[in-house]
Amino acid sequence: MIDESVVDLSRLQFAITAMYHFLFVPLTLGLSFLMAIMESVYVMTNKQIYRDMTMFWGKLFAINFALGVTTGLTLEFQFGTNWAYYSHYVGDIFGAPLAIEGMMAFFLESTMIGLFFFGWDRLSKRKHLMVTWLIAFASNMSALWILIANGWMQNPVGAEFNYETMRMELTSFAQVIFNPVAQVKFVHTVAAGYVTASIFVLGISAYYMLKKRDLAFATRSFAVASGFGLASILSVIILGDESGYNAGEVQKVKLAAIEAEWHTEEAPAAFTAFGFPNQETQHTDYALKIPYVMGIIATRSISHEVTGIKDLIKINEGRIRQGMIAYGLFKQLRKELKQEGKVREETKAKFEKYKHELGYGLLLKKYTVNVVDATEEQIKKAALDTIPPVAPLFWAFRVMVASGFLMLLLFLLAFYFTAKRTIVNQRWLLWSALFAIPLPWIACEMGWIVAEVGRQPWTIGGILPTHLSVSTRTVGELYFSIGGFIAFYTLLLVVEMYLMFKYARLGPSSLHTGRYHFENGASK
Amino acid sequence: MIFDYDTLKLITWLLVGVLLISFALMDGFDMGVGALLPFLGKTDEERRVIINSIGATWEGNQVWFVTAAGAIFAAWPIVYAVSFSGFYIALLLTLFALFFRPVGFDYRSKLKDPRWRSTWDWGLFIGGFVPPLIFGIAFGNLLQGVPFHFDDELRSFYTGSFWGLLNPFALLAGIVSLTMLIMHGAVYLQIRTTDVIYDRCKKAVKLFGLIFIVSFAIAGVWIAYGIDGFKVISMPALDALSNPLAKTVEIAPGAWMSNYETYSWSMLFPALAFLGAIIAIFWSALNAPVLAFIASSMSIVGVIMTAGMAMFPFVMPSSTNPNHSLIVWDSASSYLTLTIIFWASVIFIPLIIFYTSWVYSVLRGKITVQHIRDTEHTSY
């Protein structure tokens, strides 16, 4: 049996390293676009200030990008180091988008990044602009391939189990690429990145305005960010992630958990705005419900119903029973293959009938290695396991959505007063923009929790349970690695934040052009 | 598709080889330069010259490493799974060492404090010194076989320890890999610098080139006479579905030499490794660093191909259950996935080479102390 504490520690390590990586990714995705927009204005209008804007925000981009690269390396390693069985079991499908991401996107981004910083005097204006756009394009292509891989974990299409190679194998690459879950995720995630960068630029520019310095620089940056941000936040909200939740079976469970919908309600379902979900009693205490809303959010219609958790558990229990049959047949096939060199046609035909539920059978491995001898009690337990922890999902989703609407309000106001050209006088709004800087990060991390905690108990929805996916390592080794990551990451984050604050406070004066606030007094 | 499954498996082996070699050629000199940084640069300005000779381009070079890992994941999932989880502590140390580079390059010049800068210099040193050493040690262990086996559902169990990796032959392989890349880095730095740093590079090429040649020679003799190789006794057809449990393998003295006996042309690889290094040392001394760089690149190709040829078709032999060894023919992904990786490589690798060359040509030229003074606020 697999040591459950190894499973828990491996999950903890993945969550720490992935969430940490995701502190830097959204800003890279969005800021590269904002820089490209600013530089385009520079090339079109020939106004020096837009070049300065590109260079200054590029400086902050670099501080952030360095940690994005650092923490990204971990993820490329970690599937192998800590999730070896996962890597073997689904590498045939999951590995390809990662390899292509490297060749097609990460290479381009990383190669061009040096030219962005060191090519200003060596390239013509247009060529430099092209380099900046290539970085923006490549970082977004990276996101596409990573989310194709992630989307496949949520909704594993275009693949089939092969009992001879003992793994999932690709049957249609097109299905993997055009996986609806992946496509929705991609749009939602990159747009969230654009929002993050817009809030970042908005907040820091507001700070300069509040300090009444470098106003020409600050108002222009503010204007670009408010326009780009408004468009982005609208797409994040309208093209929300949930529209993908009907695409996969496991996604339905996630949806019910987010909404803490214990019973199937008649369409259109009510939305629980507030409450305390209790997984043991399967009831939400102090629930405050708004009629109709959830049906519309979840199904984009008023006539489709959303299946409740209790019914899902019942359905999944049936699948687990079928999965036991599938597992028994699979063992039979392996035995025949070993002893007779080939399998019997009838065993194969039977297995074909049940094999789509093999993953549900594997859920029982947590309780009994042989699966087929599971007791009633174990089957019931495994069926309960198919529901992810409801309360964290319920809350993470609501915090994410609330942050989203707060940011929408902020962008609307920022855009309005920018258009009216009175933004410098709206001090309350500028303060709000400054203190809103953490909001997109909160929303992004909460979104990650919704997506990945909501996927539990699976690493690959309906195919491979999380607890089977780990490497056979020891608890001691995991303490070493988690300790190392926490120590390094904490140290690096402190250094990064220190530099970010220092350069954000210094503002465009850090470019040493002689045109900005701190340079006039010859102080530096 | 134009290839059979068995041909495609062979092409995949070559492709992984190309990616590993490209990584060693490109990121290798960045690592070599990093390992030399505190020793060849005595003052802050000298160190900035050294850092800026690779600062604008190292990031792209590192992607060869990321891509190689990604390609192994995609094309040989079980090799990725067994090697990365088996060499757990070693890989984490590599990873922690690599952490120093992105931040080291970018953050070092952002503050003036000498302690701050010297800390990052040593960080960059670790990022350049530790990974090549560990990669060499890993290869040294592959050549001796690694203690792992599978159960019937292909879950892998690694039964060795981290300290077991640090055996004498593996440490020698670590020295081969480290000195090879330091030589390569010194030659590259010679191209990009002038005056005192240039002269120190010449000395470094000589010193590390010689250590490399000697250690590579000892490793060769050791493999031929001191280390047992692996031999496939029987296995399913070359184009069979990948199942690492279906063959029989034997451990035999001198088995790593059998490919060299069967295909005598393959002796060209070790020859290339030696000749390349010797020529690199001479050209470096004769002030022709560009030619020396080509020679040291040839040497690296020779070294990696020497190891690959010795082991072929083995990718990861198992010392505790030789039958469970991973070989080119039974570790590969499905036909469809290999096809996709093949086409992606055919399209993107030439494209990568194309724009990387363009970036290098834009950023070419010597970095001098004067240049650093002129670009005080924009250089690393």
Q: B313, B231 in Cβ contact below 8 A?
A: no
pLDDT of B206 reads 96
Collapse the DSSP code of A181 into the 3-class scheme (helix H, G, I; strand E, B; otherwise coil) and give the result. Answer: helix
Q: Is residue B134 part of a domain?
A: yes
Residue B40 falls within a domain, yes or no? yes
With an 8 Å Cβ cutoff, are A114 and B157 in contact? no
Residue A341 has which token pair? 């060199």
Q: How far is B106 from chain A (nearest CA, A)?
A: 7
In 3-state terms, what secondary structure has residue A459?
A: strand
CB-nearest partner of A499 from B91, B107, B362:
B107
Q: How far apart are CA B202 and CA B300, in angstroms?
A: 19
Q: Could you tell me which chain B residue has the CA closest to the CA of A65?
A: B102
Is 70 exceeded by the pLDDT of residue A479? yes
Angle between helices B58-75 and B335-362 (to 10 degrees): 170
Select from A85, A103, A110 the Cβ nearest to the Cβ of B60. A110
A-chain CB neighbours of B27 within 8 Å are none
Smallest CA–CA distance, residue A334 to chain B, in Å, is 8
Q: Using a CB-CB distance cutoff of 8 angstroms, which residues of chain A are in contact with residue B157?
A: 472
- Domain span at residue B63 reads 8-227+334-374
Give residue A75's pLDDT: 92
Q: Band of the pLDDT at B344, cuts 50, 70, 90?
A: very high
CA angle B286, B292, B298 (to 5 degrees): 150
Which residue of A lies nearest to B71 if distances are taken between CA atoms?
A: A99
Write the residue in A99, A165, A511 that is nearest to B242 by C-beta.
Answer: A165
Determine whether the interchain pair B103/A473 forms a contact, defined as Cβ–Cβ distance below 8 Å: no
Question: Which residue in the set A70, A76, A110 is minimally distant from B99, CB to CB?
Answer: A70
- Report d(CA A425, CA A413) in Å as an integer: 13
pLDDT band at A131 (very low <50, low <70, confident <90, very high): very high
- Residue in A closest to B241 by C-alpha: A165
Cβ distance A82 to B85 less than 8 Å, yes or no, reads: yes
- pLDDT digits over B109-147, tens only? 999 999 999 999 999 999 999 999 999 999 999 999 999
Chain B residue with CA closest to A169: the answer is: B334
pLDDT at position B1:
63
B156 forms bridges with which residues in the sheet? B150
Distance CA B139, CA B151 (A): 25
Query: pLDDT band at residue A297, thresholds of 50, 70 and 90?
Result: low
CA B91 to each of CA B19, B120, B122, B134, B346: distance values in angstroms, whole numbers, following the listed order: 18, 22, 20, 8, 29
Q: Is B263 within a domain?
A: no
B241 contacts A115? CB cut-off 8 A:
no
The residue among A73, A362, A502 with the most chain B CBs within 10 A of its CB, best to mutate, is A73
B322 in a domain, yes or no? no
- Tell me which of B57, B59, B117, B331 to substitute to probe the interface with A (most A C-beta atoms closer than 10 Å): B59
What tokens appear for B63 in the block? 């992607």
Residues from chain B contacting residue A336 (CB–CB below 8 Å):
none
The candidate with the shortest Cα–Cα distance to A262, out of A306, A319, A315, A297, is A306
**Per-residue pLDDT at B285 exceeds 60:** yes
* % of chain B with per-residue pLDDT over 90: 93
| Gap between the Cα atoms of A513 and A26, Å rounded | 29
Inter-residue contact B189 to B53 (CB < 8 Å): yes
CA–CA gap between residue A60 and residue A74 (Å, rounded)? 23
Other residues' Cβ atoms within 10 Å of the Cβ of residue B323: 18
Range A347-375 average pLDDT: 93
Residue B36 · residue B28 · CB < 8 Å: no
Q: Is the model's pLDDT at A78 over the cut of 60?
A: yes
**CB–CB contact A95 B56 (8 Å):** no
The label of the residue with tokens 């040690």 reads B137
- Compute φ and ψ for A214, nearest 5 degrees: 45, 50
Mutate to test the interface with B, among A25, A107, A116, A177 (most CBs of B within 10 A): A107
Average pLDDT, chain B: 95
Q: Is residue A245's pLDDT more than 70?
A: no
Say yes or no for a CB contact (<8 Å) between B67 and A107: yes
Helix/strand/coil percentages in chain A, nearest 5: 75, 5, 20
Tell me which residue of B359, B370, B29 sits closest to B189, measured CA to CA: B29
**Could you write out the three-class secondary structure of A84-99?**
HHHHHHHHHHHHHHHH
Beta strands in A253-309 (DSSP E): 271-278, 283-290
Instruction: Kindly report, residue by residue over B142-186, the tens digit of the pLDDT.
Output: 999 999 999 999 999 999 989 999 999 999 999 999 999 999 999
Which of A28, A76, A83, A493 is the best residue to mutate to test the B interface, defined by the most B CB atoms within 10 Å of its own CB? A76
DSSP helix/strand/coil, A1: coil
Cβ contact A103:B352 at 8 Å: yes
Q: Cis omega before residue A97 (within 30°)?
A: no
Total structural domains in chain B?
1
Q: Cα dihedral sign for B128, B131, B134, B138?
A: negative
Of A66, A76, A119, the CB nearest to B69: A76
Q: Do A69 and B152 touch (CB under 8 A)?
A: no
What's the gap in Å between the CA of A419 and the closest CA on chain B? 35
Neighbours of B17 (CB within 10 A): 18
Q: What is the mean pLDDT of residues A282-310?
A: 74
Over residues A210-234, the pLDDT tens digits come to 999 999 999 999 999 999 999 999 9
Q: Do A481 and B88 touch (CB under 8 A)?
A: yes
pLDDT at residue B265 tops 80: yes
CB A290 within 8 A of CB A270: yes
- Among A82, A173, A492, whose Cβ lies nearest the Cβ of B103? A492
Phi and psi torsions of A274, nearest 5°: -150, 150
Cα gap A197→A92, rounded to integer Å: 35
Residue-level pLDDT at A522: 43
Query: Are A69 and B59 within 8 A, CB to CB?
Result: yes
A87, B73: Cβ pair inside 8 Å? yes
pLDDT of residue A246: 59
Report yes or no on B355 lying in a domain.
Answer: yes
The DSSP 8-state label assigned to residue A425 in this structure reads G
Nearest to A95 by CA among A169, A194, A160, A204: A169
Interface test with B, best of A14, A24, A88, A479 (most B CBs within 10 A): A88
pTM score above 0.90: yes
The tens digit of pLDDT for each residue in B357-369 reads 999 999 999 999 9
Structure token digits, residue B199: 């002269």
Whether B88 sits inside 8 A of A100 (CB atoms) is no
Q: What is the pLDDT of residue A247?
A: 57
Task: Report the alpha-carbon distance of residue B233 to residue B252 in Å, rounded.
Answer: 11
Q: Does residue B48 or residue A307 have the better pLDDT?
A: B48
Q: What is the model's pLDDT at position B376?
A: 84
Could B92 and A511 be called an inter-chain contact, meaning their C-beta atoms sit closer than 8 Å?
no
User: Helix, strand, or coil here: A461?
Assistant: coil
Nearest by Cα to A3 from A478, A510, A356, A461: A478
Give B156-164's long-range contacts (Cβ < 8 A, gap of 24+). B156/A84, B156/A85, B156/A88, B156/A471, B156/A472, B156/B78, B156/B81, B156/B82, B156/B85, B156/B86, B157/A472, B158/A472, B158/B82, B158/B85, B158/B86, B158/B88, B159/B320, B160/B86, B162/B88, B162/B89, B162/B90
Which of B63, B102, B356 minimises the CB distance to A106? B63
- What is the arithmetic mean of pLDDT over A273-285? 84
Higher pLDDT, B94 or A283: B94
- Tell me which residue of B90, B106, B3 sits closest to B341, measured CA to CA: B3
Looking at residue A463, its amino acid is: I
Q: Is the predicted pLDDT of residue A524 greater than 50, yes or no? A: no
Of B62, B71, B85, nearest to A473 by CB-CB distance is B85
| Per-residue pLDDT tens digits for A319-338 | 999 999 999 999 999 999 88
Residues of A within 8 A of B356 (CB-CB) are 111
Q: How many interchain CB pairs under 8 A, A with B? A: 238
Q: Which of B70, B77, B85 sits opposite A92 (nearest CB)?
A: B77
A332, A372 Cβ separation under 8 angstroms: no
Across all residues in chain A, what is the average pLDDT? 91
Give the per-residue pLDDT at A273: 79
CA distance B316 to chain A (A): 15
Q: Please, what's the b/e burial string for B140-153 (b: 16 or more CB within 10 A of its CB; e: otherwise)?
A: bbbbbbbbbbbeeb
Are B82 and A84 inside 8 Å of each other by CB? yes
- Give the residue from chain A lying closest to B333, CA to CA: A92
Assess whether pLDDT exceeds 60 at residue A521: no
Exposed, middle or buried: residue A194 (CB in 10 Å: 0-12, 13-18, 19+)? Answer: buried
User: What residues of chain B lie within 8 A of the CB of A67, using their CB?
Assistant: 102-103
CA-based torsion, A365, B331, B350, B310: positive or negative: positive
ipTM of the complex: 0.94
Q: Do residues A261 and A269 make contact, with C-beta atoms less than 8 angstroms apart?
A: yes
Number of continuous H segments (helices) and E segments (strands) in chain B: 14, 6
Q: Which residues neighbour B63 within 8 Å (Cβ) at sequence distance 6 or greater?
A: A102, A106, A107, A110, A111
> What is the share, in percent, of chain A residues with pLDDT greater than 90?
77
Peptide bond between residue A277 and the one before it cis (omega within 30 degrees of 0) = no
Which positions ≥6 away from B10 have C-beta within 8 Å?
B328
Q: Kindly identify which residue of chain A lies nearest to residue B152, measuring between CA atoms.
A: A334
Residue B74 has pLDDT above 90, yes or no: yes
Which amino acid, residue A218?
A: A
Nearest C-alpha in A relative to B110: A499
Which three-class secondary structure state does DSSP give residue B362? helix
Q: Which amino acid is at B320?
A: T
Smallest Cα–Cα separation from A97: which of B364, B377, B333?
B333
Whole-number Å distance between alpha carbons of B13 and B315: 9
Nearest to A85 among B84, B155, B363 (CB): B155
Please check whether residue B280 lies inside any domain of the structure. Answer: no
Closest chain B residue by Cα to residue A124: B362
**Beta carbons of B337 and A170 less than 8 Å apart:** yes
Q: Confidence band (pLDDT; 50, 70, 90) for A523?
A: very low
* Alpha helix (H) residue ranges in A22-124: 25-45, 48-82, 84-100, 107-118
Lookup: tokens for B253 = 């003295």
- Cα–Cα distances in angstroms (integers) from residue A359 to residues A364, B81, B183, B221, in the given order: 9, 20, 52, 51
Query: CB–CB of A165 and B336 under 8 A?
Result: no
Would the CB atoms of A104 and B242 count as touching at under 8 Å?
no
Q: pLDDT value at position A300?
A: 60
Per the CB < 8 A criterion, the answer to whether A81 and B84 are in contact is yes
Q: Answer yes or no: is B183 within a domain.
A: yes
**Record: contact B74-A65, CB cut-off 8 A:** no
Asked if B89 lies within 8 A of A87 by C-beta distance, the reply is no
Residue in A95, A169, A472 closest to B156 by CB: A472
Q: How far is CA A495 from CA A203, A317, A427, B47, in A?
A: 21, 50, 31, 21
* E strand spans, A217-297: 271-278, 283-290
Q: Which amino acid is at B372?
A: I
Report the pLDDT averaged over residues B273-287.
Answer: 97
- The pLDDT value recorded for residue A262 is 86
Is A100 in contact with A145 (CB distance < 8 Å)?
Answer: yes
List, for residues B14-25, the tens digit of each pLDDT value: 999 999 999 999
